[in-house]
Amino acid sequence: MGLEKRSYRKSRRLREIEDLLELRPRSTAELAGRLGVSQRTVQRDIEELRSLRPELREDGQGRYFIAKEADSNPYSLLLRYVTFRFFYHQAPTHHQYFMQELHRLVKALPEHIRRLVALDLEAYHRRNLPSDRVLEMVLRAWSERRVLQVDYQSLQGRRTRRELEIWFLELNRWNLALYALVRVPGSRYTGPQIYKLARMSNPRILEKTYTIPENFNPNGLLSGAWGVTLAHRKAQVVLRFAPAVLPRLREGDLPGPVEWRVLEDGRAEAVYEVNTDPDGYPFELLGWVLSWGSLVEVVAPADLRARWLQEIRTLAGQWLEAPPPTPHLHRRH
């Protein structure tokens, strides 16, 4: 029995060394510290791996790595790299299968890029992440078309239990937060609503199943979204941009206007078709406009322009009337 256990531990250790060396070069001392064994044990394992993996090599610094051929297609590189970066920032889990998928993505990158990305992968391993299975359960429920039960927290902080039919997942272009387009069984709304995954907790997949309508078109609902607001209602918004903003607008990563013209004074005026909340208010757009300060002006509609001016007056009144903060002087010791 003891021999079988030692053989199993060794086999598992060899697989882990192989996995680590496929990501980036490592010394035997680093591997020993990572695996919790002696450096001599790692050296013996390396010698055994050489017979199994002829592509195992040693670099000029005495570190070992396993050379891998990467796909030369630049779009394959783009897809794998961007996918890794997104989940590096947005997936709070150390789930075994998820980590295997991250490793698979990284291993497929060209060697000089893989070495750099592997450092981020190790940093991700070291994160003290909460046990949060929301993303996993949302994806499973969507894949199996089973109703997902969650506790959902509103913006006001109130938690309620909901049953959700997951129809689609969308990213907010500004913060890359994940949202689900869902139908709530029994709701007076027959179409999908938007739910933020970060506000979900205590997920549980139910036995109930559902069908996504054949005529469901998420692009029709999300076109015109400045973030993730669905197109239950739309409004035409006219914005006027200072000349300094024009190069930024031409970069092409912002929602496209339906009309565009440059004025005689060098400013530009653009008309956008924007999704609004049920009351007809394009709140996502207003936050973006205010972030530009004096460089962007709301021209129309009149009620949005009034709201924009009111926000400016409120900010000015709040900060201009406040006494200046007292500077804290730090003495050198």
What are the phi and psi torsion angles at 91 (to 5°)?
-110, 100
Predicted model pTM: 0.76
Tens of pLDDT along the chain (333 residues) come to: 466 677 778 888 998 898 888 888 999 999 999 889 999 999 999 999 888 888 888 898 999 988 888 777 899 999 999 998 888 887 667 777 888 888 888 988 988 898 899 998 888 888 776 667 898 899 999 999 999 999 999 888 899 999 999 999 999 888 888 999 999 998 888 789 999 999 999 999 999 999 999 999 999 889 888 888 888 788 899 999 999 988 888 887 778 899 999 999 999 999 999 988 878 888 888 888 999 999 999 999 999 999 999 999 998 888 877 666 666 555 544
CA-nearest of 118, 130, 141, 137 to 92 is 130
Q: Which residue has the tokens 């949060």?
A: 132
Neighbouring residues of 168: CB distance < 8 A, sequence distance ≥ 6: 180, 181, 192, 216, 218
Residue 333 has what pLDDT?
45
Alpha helices for the chain (secondary structure H): 2-23, 28-35, 39-52, 74-90, 96-107, 111-126, 134-144, 218-222, 246-249, 283-290, 302-320
Q: Report the distance separating Cα 62 and Cα 53, nearest Å.
A: 18
Q: Report the distance separating Cα 168 and Cα 216, nearest Å.
A: 10
Q: Residue-wise over 135-170: b if at least 16 C-beta within 10 A, else e?
A: bebbeebbeeebbbbbebeeeeeeeeebbbbbbbbb
Residue 244 has what pLDDT?
92
CA-nearest of 58, 64, 68 to 25 is 64
- What is the torsional sign of CA 114, 115, 116, 120? positive
Given its phi and psi angles, is residue 145 left (phi above 0), alpha (psi -120 to 50 degrees) or beta? Answer: left
10 Å Cβ neighbour count for 56? Answer: 19
Computed over its alpha carbons, how large is the radius of gyration of the chain?
A: 27
Residue 1 has what pLDDT?
45
Angle at 204 between CA 126 and CA 139, to 5 degrees: 65
* Length of the chain in terms of residues written: 333
227: number of CA atoms within 13 Å, CB side? 20
